[in-house]
Structure 1
Amino acid sequence: MIIRLVDFVGRYATKFLFGGVLVGLLIPPLATLLRPGLVVFLLLPLTLALMRLDWSAFHAYTRRPFLIAIAVAFLLLACPLLVFAVLQPVGLPRPLMEAIVLMAAAPPITGTVAIALILGLDAALAVIVMVLATALVPFTLPPLALLLLDIEVQMSLVEFMGRLALMVGFAFGAAALARWRLPPGWLQQNQRLLDGGSVIALVLFAIAIMDGVTAKLLAQPGYVILATASAFVINVALQAVGYVVGRGVFRLNIPAAITLGVLAGNCNMGLVMVALADRAVFDMVVFFAMGQLPMYMLPGLLEPVYRRMMRQPA
């Protein structure tokens, strides 16, 4: 029965992602209950995605180091600089503008790997760019925050890198162990089951991260609506820029270019919150929380668009 339930979730993965992110807002006690499991819910989708990864494609990208390097530089450097330049004349509240720029400077969320697999995109590209961008962000985000926003990010490099290495290393190790122990052909025969497991973990993460957000929504509805609308607009805009750059500059095929767009639009704001610690003002925290909505809703909304784009001649 449990297997059938997980398989059902995998069959309608994007729809469950769409609706699941709202549960934490609608049922605040559930968000509080799940909050201690944030790290587990964060690592499980990455582990399941790594189990299913086509490692031959992964190795093919390791033989193209220049492409990977400029893709990572595009995400960590070009995107925040572009966003900062565009937002300067818009006149958004200062904390909201700062939060959006910091979001653009963050690496992709680990869930982009699972999303890439569910949507049939280039998961190998998603893995290698996500891992490298996450490893390098301690070197790029603090100077950008100081240069563009005059915000001094208090980030212990050794501790931060150690935590990231432990998390990513655990996911790679667990995936390698599972591939070694599972019978041949099991992963290919149970792809929808694995999709379901990834979606459940992503939804649980989305619920847990909403802890305390409902009260903030009731306290300042106008600002929260503005922050939510901004999150959707900037996510779609960065996805579009990523796709155009992927096709026009990097000469990627369509699935890989869409993947670069998904990586650009879906940023790990949780890492930014950790880096800022108590320096993040209330209005910035609101944006980081509501920014989860487009990351979970847009895969379902844009799936027909992605499918149509991938049917086009290369």
Structure 2
Amino acid sequence: MPLLAFLGRHGTRALFAGVFLGIALPGLAALFRPLLGPAVALLLLLALLRVDWQAMGAVVRRPWLCAALVAWILLGSPLVMWGCLQLLALPQPLTVALVLMSAAPPIVGGAAIAMLIGLDGALAVVIALFSTLLAPLSVPPLALLLLGLDLQIGLFAFMGRLAAIVALAFAGAWLLRRLVGLPRLRSLSGHIDGLVVLIMLVFAVAIMDGVTRTLLERPGTVALWLAAAFVANPGLQLIAALLFRPLGLRRALTVGLLAGNCNMGLLLAALPPGADFDVVLYFALAQLPMYMLPALALPLYRRLLEARGASTGG
């Protein structure tokens, strides 16, 4: 329990340091690989334990807002990314990876990160869920249209698996909220945040399987892929935050966070057999900005939100 409390207090710093574990300990990465799926479901359950369900309901009761945000994340972002990449002469696997990344829904852990840095957790959960459930309808046609890539997805089976994960997470969270009680859960919020950080670290380590070998064999490729990830992630965040600034600063920053932190683990399951390893390599390396940028940007988030609070009288 003290470890979880410590991780909860220092979540962004722990994610920053822990993401390198998968590179430093490749054997651990291979061992954790089967845990990718369960980690996604557990992250969603924990986010649902922490977030205010009434606030989530308020977001759902604004369907046009939800539709606009989901449309931007699933359609707007990949189209903007594809348009920008037409101006650059990047290797084909990197181009494919960047477009697929921007077409993916937000990571489920994005809601947890949003709460760790003081953004709108309810908005993050709702938009991440809707985007995840609708991604099977948008990602395959975009991949075919923009990249000529046929993602061999069994549409209804894939959506069924995603719906099952969401349903189980909601059921588990509802049951725990009834058994433990909201006051007790609120008192354990720091420990829940610590558990979120721990599970996100397991995910980060697992997806790094194979990266260490490639780093030793092709350091130039890894450097270029990593540089692209550190440009694409904050770039997508900035565009979305500026576009949705009329919603208010906190919500705009939340949408930006979701737009830049994409669920590439979901895409790994959708790639056809024999997919280019360099595409998979980008999906792994793109975890580094996802885990490092929240810690680096935390002082900026705090300054922006404090300035907004001061300008509006708190």
Using the size of structure 1 for normalisation, the TM-score is: 0.96
Once the two structures are superposed, what CA deviation does each residue of 1:76-132 show, in whole Å capped at 9, x if it has no partner?
A: 101000011111111111110111011000000110011111111111111111111
Q: Cα offset for 1:43?
A: 2.0
For 2:291, the equivalent position in structure 1 comes to: 296
| Residues in 2 aligned to 1:52 and 1:272: alpha-carbon distance in whole angstroms | 27
Counterpart contact for 2:36–2:265, Cα < 8 Å = no
Unaligned runs of 5+ in 1: none
Q: Cα offset for 1:221?
A: 1.0
For 2:252, the equivalent position in structure 1 comes to: 257
| Residues in 1 aligned to 2:281 and 2:297: alpha-carbon distance in whole angstroms | 25
Letter in 2 for 1:294: P
Once the two structures are superposed, what CA deviation does each residue of 1:134-177 show, in whole Å capped at 9, x if it has no partner?
A: 11111111111111111111110121111101111111111111
SS of the counterpart of 2:152?
A: coil
The partner residue of 2:189 within 188, 191, 199 is: 191
Q: Cα offset for 1:13?
A: 0.5
- Equivalent positions of 1:86-105 (< 5 A) are 86-105=84-103
Once the two structures are superposed, what CA deviation does each residue of 1:31-75 show, in whole Å capped at 9, x if it has no partner?
A: 122222222222222211101111121111111100000100000
Q: Cα offset for 1:277?
A: 2.9
For 1:45, the equivalent position in structure 2 comes to: 43
RMSD (CA atoms): 1.1
For 1:238, the equivalent position in structure 2 comes to: 236
Letter in 1 for 2:33: R
Counterpart contact for 2:36–2:206, Cα < 8 Å = yes
| Residues in 1 aligned to 2:85 and 2:36: alpha-carbon distance in whole angstroms | 32
Number of corresponding residues: 309
Q: Does 1:225 find its partner at 2:220?
A: no
For 1:109, the equivalent position in structure 2 comes to: 107
Q: Cα offset for 1:279?
A: 4.5
Counterpart contact for 1:20–1:203, Cα < 8 Å = yes
| Residues in 1 aligned to 2:272 and 2:171: alpha-carbon distance in whole angstroms | 29
Letter in 2 for 1:264: A
Counterpart contact for 1:109–1:130, Cα < 8 Å = yes
For 2:268, the equivalent position in structure 1 comes to: 273
| Residues in 2 aligned to 1:297 and 1:79: alpha-carbon distance in whole angstroms | 21
- Of 145-154 and 228-237, more deviation after overlay is shown by 145-154
| Residues in 1 aligned to 2:133 and 2:182: alpha-carbon distance in whole angstroms | 33
- Of 279-288 and 152-161, more deviation after overlay is shown by 279-288
Letter in 2 for 1:209: I
- Of 87-96 and 212-221, more deviation after overlay is shown by 212-221
For 2:4, the equivalent position in structure 1 comes to: 6
Q: Cα offset for 1:183?
A: 3.4
Letter in 1 for 2:171: G
% identical equivalent positions: 49
For 1:136, the equivalent position in structure 2 comes to: 134
Unaligned runs of 5+ in 2: none
- Of 17-26 and 276-285, more deviation after overlay is shown by 276-285
Counterpart contact for 1:273–1:280, Cα < 8 Å = no
Letter in 2 for 1:63: R
Q: Cα offset for 1:184?
A: 4.3
Once the two structures are superposed, what CA deviation does each residue of 1:161-200 show, in whole Å capped at 9, x if it has no partner?
A: 1110111111111111110001341122121111101000
